Amino acid sequence: MGTTTKRYVGTCHCGAVKFAVDIDLDEGGSRCNCSICTKLNAFSRLMKPEAFELIAGEDETSSYEWGHRISRRHFCKHCGVSCFARGHLPEVGGDFVAINLSCLDGVEFRGLKVAYWDGRHENWDSGPRDTPWPILGNA
């Protein structure tokens, strides 16, 4: 079965930030139990930077970087929605963009695969799992 890459457009809530991604949604998305992903309830997808295009709103974003400085999350200055992050982590292939799949316009998520990362314990080497880690909640 070949990949079905398609271009999707996403926006923040107010529309000030707009981006496009070339992605195969059949590959699903992921959730992570690290402190920020848990608080954001993030449903994301890691991709190579060349599959991401910021169409509008670069000056309308603010960013946040924490901990080990693995990635920098970009938020709309107006509505506060976290649309994407840029980072580098050797365990996931180096440079990446993590998009917030919930920001994609007109996408139905029912039935999409979800992989779970154990970021809370920096357990990146083990890769994603098909089921949530036992402490995915607000521990």
User: What CATH number does the domain containing 99 carry?
Assistant: 2.170.150.70
Q: Which two tokens stand for residue 114?
A: 């979800």
Residue 133, domain member (yes or no): no
Residue 138 in domain: no
How many independent structural domains does the chain possess? Answer: 1
Does residue 136 fall inside a structural domain? no
Q: What share of the chain is helix, strand, coil (3-state, %, to 5)?
A: 20, 40, 40
Four-CA torsion 24, 25, 26, 29, nearest 10 degrees:
120
Residue 132 counted as domain residue: no
CB atoms within 10 A of CB 134: 9
In a domain, 128, yes or no: no
Domain of residue 55, residue span: 6-123
Sign, Cα dihedral of 78, 84, 86, 91:
positive
What's the pLDDT band for 119 if we cut at 50, 70, 90?
Answer: low
Phi and psi at residue 78, in whole multiples of 5°? Answer: -95, -50
| 56-91 tens-digit pLDDT | 999 999 998 877 777 899 999 999 999 999 999 887
Do 75 and 33 form a contact (C-beta atoms < 8 A)? no
Q: Specify if 52 maps to a domain.
A: yes
The answer to whether residue 118 is domain-embedded is yes
Residue closest to 57 by CA, chosen among 38, 81, 76, 70: 76
pLDDT band per the 50, 70, 90 thresholds, residue 1: very low
pTM: 0.79
| Residue 32 domain flag | yes
